[in-house]
Chains A and B, each alone.
Chain A
Amino acid sequence: MIKALIARIKQGYRTMEFPSPEIKLPPRFLGLPEIKAAGLEKAAAACPYAAISAQAGTLDLGRCVFCGACAKASPAVKFTKEYKLCAGSREDLVLGRDGARRARPVPEDLRRILGRSFKLRQVSAGGCGACEADCNVLGTLAFDLGRFGVQFVASPRHADAVLITGPVTKNMALALRKTYDAVPAPKLVIACGACAISGGPYSGHEECPGIPADIPVDLYIPGCPPHPLTILDGILRLIGRVE
């Protein structure tokens, strides 16, 4: 017992402040990209995921897996270290359009219900397990998701929202449907990671039909995988805990 207490003192207090202007991401981190029209064709040609349209002058954060190939090919794309990437609608993820990338908190009445106690049922539906890992990290003492009243729960019956990761494989379609149906209304849906949004690295695979159209998504969190801070920021924005 005494050893555990000594260890506790040695390990120190490690929970980060959030949100905080102090948060610093590593110099080589690829966050929110900035695009310029000049030279965008080259960047578009370099992207294996058709995330960039030179014609429209856009970059779709929902398709982007942050591989950096475009920035290597052309100075038209530059990555900043901005980790706040989420958006409330699919269109808002497309950079280069007017008014793009607005995170929309849920309406006031829902916020009153969910703002202080928000329970998530995570469904892993394909993918590589990295999004799951970065969701799990939020439960560690470094992020301490619980302090915001947000928690991953085991039963869909206890959940306010379904957080989906992965490109939704054919083999997970039924399990996702059953889980979604089991969550009582009002319920929200979060698509976490490039896979869940667009198929990500697996876009175009017939094995991965994606989130069905009749499951409406309320929050999109881009990344491959999204940084834990990106996920945290998205969830808190959705329930109106960060502006």
Chain B
Amino acid sequence: MKTDNHSSFIFSATDIEPEIFLDTAGSRLAAGGRAIAYFAVPEGAAYRLVLAVAFDRESRVEVYSAPLGGPFRSLTPSFPQLHLFEREIYEQTGYTPEGHPWLKPVRFTGANDKPGVADFFSVHGSEIHEVAVGPVHAGVIEPGHFRFQCHGEKVFHLEIMLGYQHRGVEKRFIGGPGPRDLRYAETLAGDTSIGHGWAYCGAIEALCGVNVPARAQALRGIMLELERLANHTGDLGALSGDVAYLPTASFCGRLRGDFLNMSALVCGSRFGRNMLRPGGVNFDLDYALVKELKLRLETVYRDVENAVSLLWNTASVIDRFDGTGTVSKQAAEGLGLVGPAARASGVGLDTRRNFPYGPYENFTLAVSGSGDVYSRAYVRWLEIQKSADLVAAWLDSLPEGPVSAECGDLKPDCGAISLIEGWRGQICHFALTGADGKLRYYKAADPSFHNWQGLAMALRNGEISDFPLCNKSFNLSYCGHDL
């Protein structure tokens, strides 16, 4: 069944015969589809398997579902992009995806699970050694466990185990919408509060069929791009710090804060909390605020340009970025990577262009690269320029009118998919309502869910000392993965 970004569909229309479900899934993925959601929703005494496939070039989403009552055939051997989805289904239902090459817990939610305790790949032989890091890392950073199989400095394989941040958010949406929902969405990944907040609002709005006023859309766009500006700027600084080039590291650390303070000027919170609401936004801009924001954008952007251009002109930086941690286009596509990391490997996916929503009419931005740290850094810089242009343009021409519309009741027995291009990449929220018009199921996928495996691939045959640099070039979210 076909549907669009941010529109609702009758859920029963997605039903297909269980016998053909997996074959259909396989053929859609083989036809160039990218899985954006694959999960099992409780139904009666068993489950229903739901798959959403995006066809990026045609701006089209297809959804299929079928009853699931036991073990099922794993599609991962043919379509590696499903590997984590299937592990998640296994963890949540207990049904084995038969033939999955590496079936193990995702978030250690079982009663007897011990976080991080599972099988790991291991390499044997003389002079082979294993390096285990985490969950508590050296810096002020979220927890995760990394295990490297090394020969001297060379990394054969990196395996990443997460789940330490699991706080059980998804299931709390069920039975809603409730008063805690927006903050739940905003804290799925705290540095992506606007991205996930918008994805949540988009899903609810589609389910109530409300039209968000144009002014609210533009204000959301401003906040989403400010979020992107802050994070990309901060990451370029951090990358610079990881190669011991301190000028850009210091400058960007401050400049990231200046973007966050612009968000705080709009809604009081540096992370954009409380800005959004289903139906629109909570804060408007008056003439004075628009003027102040424009002024700040101009000065901060000028300083960012100054700080970042140092990177491309410094041989020691380029030497460390260039050719480090390469992820091929083939690997990026095979694993279903998203966001700047995918674009840096030459995958042309940007939700703002492929699945336009809100204020992103006619969005274009051509970015590409060879998949190394340099590309992932340079793509960020290109995106910074674009975001600054977008914010300036919206500030110049804010549509008149209200900033929110009232949301009515949710349509019963419907589904909605909400895709947003967060700064890390595509965010997907999938909401289902029951017969009572309450949320029956809610599934959120942060870009990190897809991209952690990309980081593992970046380390293959690289040097272990390049890990911090590669890691920072992705800068993935632990909490966004763990939910």
Contacts and interface: CB of A to CB of B under 8 A. Distances in A.
A48 B180 contact: yes
A232 interface: no
Nearest to A69: B179
B281 to A, nearest CB: 12
A140 B195 CA distance: 25
B84 to A, nearest CB: 17
A116 interface: no
Given A141-B254, A208-B167, A224-B273, A124 B268 contact: no
Nearest to A28: B268
Nearest to A199: B167
Contacts of B271: 130, 133, 225
A129 B313 contact: no
B274 interface: yes
A65 B24 CA distance: 45
Interface in A1-55: 3-4, 7-8, 10-11, 14, 25-30, 46, 48-49
A201 interface: yes
Interface in B351-373: none
B71 interface: no
A169 B482 CA distance: 11
B48 interface: no
The residue among B165, B167, B303 with the most chain A CB atoms within 10 A of its own CB is B167
A167 interface: yes
Contacts of A175: 115, 135-136, 143, 164
A132 B143 contact: no
A4 B268 CA distance: 34
Contacts of B190: 127-131, 133, 225
B341 interface: no
Contact of B165 (A46, A122, A126, A205): A126
A227 interface: yes
Interface stretch (B52-60, B258-266, B320-328): B258-266
B412 interface: no
Nearest to B230: A133
Contacts of A65: 183
Contacts of B449: none
Interface stretch (B96-104, B201-209, B245-253): B245-253
Interface string A142-176: 10000000001010000000000011011110110
B394 interface: no
B187 A123 contact: no
Interface residues of B, number: 61
A124 B166 contact: no
B166 A171 contact: yes
A212 to B, nearest CB: 16
Contacts of A109: none
A125 interface: yes
B211 to A, nearest CB: 23
Interface string B97-117: 000000000011100000100
Contact of A29 (B169, B180, B264, B314): B264
Contact of A171 (B115, B254, B267): B115
B307 interface: yes
Contacts of A141: 250, 253-254
Interface string A168-209: 011110110011000000000000000000000110011110
B401 interface: no
B187 A127 contact: yes
A29 B141 CA distance: 26
A202 B168 contact: yes
A155 to B, nearest CB: 8
A151 B143 CA distance: 20
A166 B141 CA distance: 12
Given A67-B274, A130-B191, A136 B140 contact: yes
A14 B254 contact: yes
A211 B266 CA distance: 34
Interface in B177-235: 178-180, 182-184, 186-191, 193
B199 to A, nearest CB: 15
B140 A122 contact: yes
B168 A142 contact: no
Interface string B293-318: 00000000001001100100110000
B479 interface: yes
B11 interface: no
A171 B164 contact: yes
A134 B268 CA distance: 15
Contacts of A57: none
B139 interface: yes
A137 interface: yes
Contacts of A48: 178-180, 183
A169 B254 contact: no
A3 B247 CA distance: 10
Nearest to B134: A175
24 contacts: A4-B247, A7-B247, A10-B306, A11-B303, A11-B307, A25-B264, A27-B268, A48-B179, A123-B136, A124-B142, A126-B165, A126-B166, A126-B167, A128-B479, A132-B142, A137-B253, A152-B140, A154-B139, A169-B165, A175-B115, A178-B136, A179-B136, A224-B273, A227-B270
Interface of B: 107-109, 115, 135-136, 138-143, 163-169, 172, 178-180, 182-184, 186-191, 193, 247, 250-251, 253-254, 256-257, 261, 264-271, 273-274, 283, 303, 306-307, 310, 313-314, 477-479
Given A140-B250, A140-B256, A140-B257, 9 more contacts: A7-B306, A48-B178, A126-B167, A129-B479, A135-B140, A142-B254, A169-B167, A205-B167, A206-B168
